[in-house]
Structure 1
Amino acid sequence: MDTSNPAVFVNAELLRMYVGRKVRAVIQVVRSDGGGVVGKSTDEKQLIVNGSPPLPLTTYVEVIGIAESNQSIHAEIWNNFGDTFGMTSAL
């Protein structure tokens, strides 16, 4: 584990404070195309994530990468979190 350059956990509101720095975010995927993903951050605002998402792509993903602007991240690492992030099911 590389601890020399930790990623700051951000939502869309905080992203603007970390442009050019390594960040991590969890998003709900709204749509995906070949060059990236449009998603909703934890504060219900839109984020654009550039890079090559994993296939198959789940509804919720964590991305770690460089904040390119106040609305976009260039993802280096994608982690699928599944389709029901934060929800529990009755047994």
Structure 2
Amino acid sequence: MDTSNPAVFVNAELLRMYVGRKVRAVIQVVRSDGGVVVGKSTDEKQLIVKGSPPLPLTTYVEVIGIAESNQAIHAEIWTNFGDTFDAYNYNQLCLLANGEYKHLFI
């Protein structure tokens, strides 16, 4: 595992702070069209993920890649998380990882 460039845990709201950096997000897939997946972030906002998703996609997918904008990620790694997922707890993790416990995640 490469620990020299860790991916920051983000939701859609936090993504804007990391444009150009490696991020990690979980989305609920809304639709997939070729190399573009539109999904709902764990904070209920829309994210666009570009790249080569695995087929078939499950309802929840974790992506690791480069934040292209405040609403888009170019994914390098896709991981199917299944059809049920606790988005609330993941969102809390994102908030903690970017708040008082940030030093533990970077």
* Alignment TM-score, normalising by the size of structure 1: 0.92
In structure 2, C-alpha distance between the alignment counterparts of 1:66 and 1:27, rounded to whole Å = 15
Percentage of pairs with the same residue: 94
Shift of 1:61: 0.3
Q: Give ranges in structure 2 of 5+ residues lacking alignment.
A: 86-105
Deviations 1:28-85 (A, max 9, x none): 0000010220000000000000001000100000000000000000000000000112
Structure ranking higher in strand proportion: 1
Residue equivalent to 1:27:
27
Q: Give ranges in structure 1 of 5+ residues lacking alignment.
A: 86-90
Shift of 1:5: 0.1
State yes or no: 1:70 paired with 2:74: no
After the TM superposition, list the runs of 4 or more consecutive aligned residues in structure 1 that deviate by more than 6 angstroms: none
In structure 2, C-alpha distance between the alignment counterparts of 1:36 and 1:76, rounded to whole Å = 13
